Every structure is written in structure tokens, then in C-alpha cells.
Structure 1
Amino acid sequence: MKKTLIFAFFLLGAAPRGYAQTLDAELARLKTNLALVVYSGAVEERSLWSPRSDYVACRVMGKWIGVSLHNLALTPDRWHGKRVGLLKSSAAPHELSADELSLFRAASEVQPILIRTRAGTRYALQPEGEGSVLVATRADGQIRRLWSSGGEPCYSLSLSPDEKYLACLGERSGLLLTKIE
């Protein structure tokens, strides 16, 4: 009985107490700035952030699902040749209520391919072959290429309210977070 309950706990996406960490801690542990937190080709439309940047949400098959960024576990994986943390478990992803969805929408700025921080850094998804490349251009004009999607189209940039993360959707992969701080 006990084994069945623990197994069901993992199937529901929850991690045992003391096992999960913050997104920052997990990315540092894996030595990467990329996390694939919803791995699904069924992710639609765009991503949204909670006002405190502690949840990210996306629409999967018509339902808005929130994922906690303060209680998750990532496993090392590869995404188009780059090291990425793949969501292994999170504190019970849940469907957003209408009130939560309204708050997330108000807190989120979503742009198709270009977004700017308060410090003036611009982040842009630029076409590269059949895929996309994420490029950062600082206010002083310095340009840095953050990653390439290896032929997978990416779209719908969304900057977290605390300006630590960018979210975008990969057409085949799902919801990808990039730590930009």
C-alpha cells in the first residue's frame, strides 16, 4: 500500500518533501540556464507568469496549467544539442482558476519575437534556417547569442515579472525557460 501511494504521488507530479528545489537551485546543480518545464507538442498559444514569478503557466489542450518554480526537480537532458533541465517533478501542477488566470495575464508581457527589460536589454527570437535563435542585445549594443533551437520553430517570448527568466514555446518541445540574470 505504501509503495503504491508513493508511486501515485510521483505520477501526479509531486515530489517528496526535501527532494525538490527552486528552479535556480536546480539549474545551478545541472550547470545550465535552460529548463524544459512542459515537454509536450500540445502546448498552445503562449506562456503566462504569476505576479511573483513563482509559477509559470501554459495552455495544454485547452486548459491553463500552472507549474511551481519553487518546488520542482529537474533531470539532465539534451535539447537540440544543448544541456537542459527536464522537469522530473513539480509540486502538483494544477489547472488555473479563472481568478488565477486573470492575475497571470495581468502580470505577463507576451511578445511574438522581441521583448525588452527595464535595463534596456532586448531579447529576440530570430529565424535561423527552419528554427530560431535567441539573441540578447544589451543597451550598450553588445550582442550575445544565448541558444539555437536546431531547426525547431520557437515563438511567444514572455519575460517573468522579476526579469530573471524568459519563457518561449518550442513548436515540438513545449515550454522552455531561459535564465537570463
Structure 2
Amino acid sequence: MESLQNIIEGCNRNDRISQEKLYRLLYPGLFSLCRKYFVCEQDIVTVVNNGMLNIFRNLGMYDVKKGDIFPWAYAIVKHAALTYLRNKLNAKEKEHLNMDDCMDLPSPCNPIVSLASKDIYLYLSVLPAMTRTVCIMFYLDGFLVREIAAHFQISEGTVKWHLSEGRSILKKAMKKKDAY
């Protein structure tokens, strides 16, 4: 396998084969990251591609000697995901899912007994886009309320409302699923 340094040098020369190798190397982890924020696979792929474009544009700033490329790429794609979500929300294209439709999906196990990662994402998918993102940033990524508020340029009270709303919706969804 070609060394990462050779791939990065090729990318800096705009070598398409090196760019493809780097893309294929980073894609699985970056797809998983974007899956936290988006339900629609088209949105996920769009954000990964936007993030990879930013990675290729800024690859000259990455220093191989400072460590693994994945955390650096992860941060760039995470920023791209949050920017895409903010732009989508600002354009009034909010994603609304009908909770009843989502809860009718068959589940191979009781999510209350054992919450596997796929169950967590199933439950998170019932939340409106902004509420889902705030909950993920707070509970899964460890951001503080004030950091989330600053990032989205909203009040801390609004962030707290989204967290409360998310807990309320998830509690109802879990109770409803448990009834079946």
C-alpha cells in the first residue's frame, strides 16, 4: 500500500488517482460522522463530498509529521456538516418526519433493553433536524450549551428548549415502541 505521505503529495499535485485513494481511505469514517446529523443519504453524501473538497483545497496546510490525517479531516467535515445544516435551516427547508411513520419500522430487538448504535440513530431520526443536531452536539459530541448557541447564533434558552423537546419526543417514542 502506498504511504499516506505519497498520497498527500499526489493530492497536492492535483493527481486524481491520489485524490481518489485519499477519498476512499477517509470515506467510511466521514460517512459515519455525517450520519449523526442527517437521515437522508443524499444529504450525507453531499456533506462528505463538500468536506472532501475542503480537505483537498486545504491539504497544503496539513503536516504529516503532526499525526494522523483522520482527526484533521473529521474536524473539516464536521464543520461542513454543521454549515450545510445551518444553510438548509436558513433556507426554510426544515426536515419534518412524522413520528408515527418512523415508529412503525420493524426493529429486530427492543431498543429499551439494549440500545445499539443503529437504535440510537433510529430514535434520533424522529427528531426535527435542528433538535436532532442540538441533541447530538450536546449528548454525543460533548459541546456545551453556550458553544452550541454561539455556533448557530441562537440563544442558550433556545438550545435548552431543543434539548428538552428532544428528550420529550424520544421519551414518547421509546414508550410507544415498548408498547408493541
Same fold (TM over 0.5): no
Higher Rg of the two aligned structures? 2
TM-score by length of 2: 0.28
More helix by share: 2
More strand by share: 1
TM-score by length of 1: 0.28
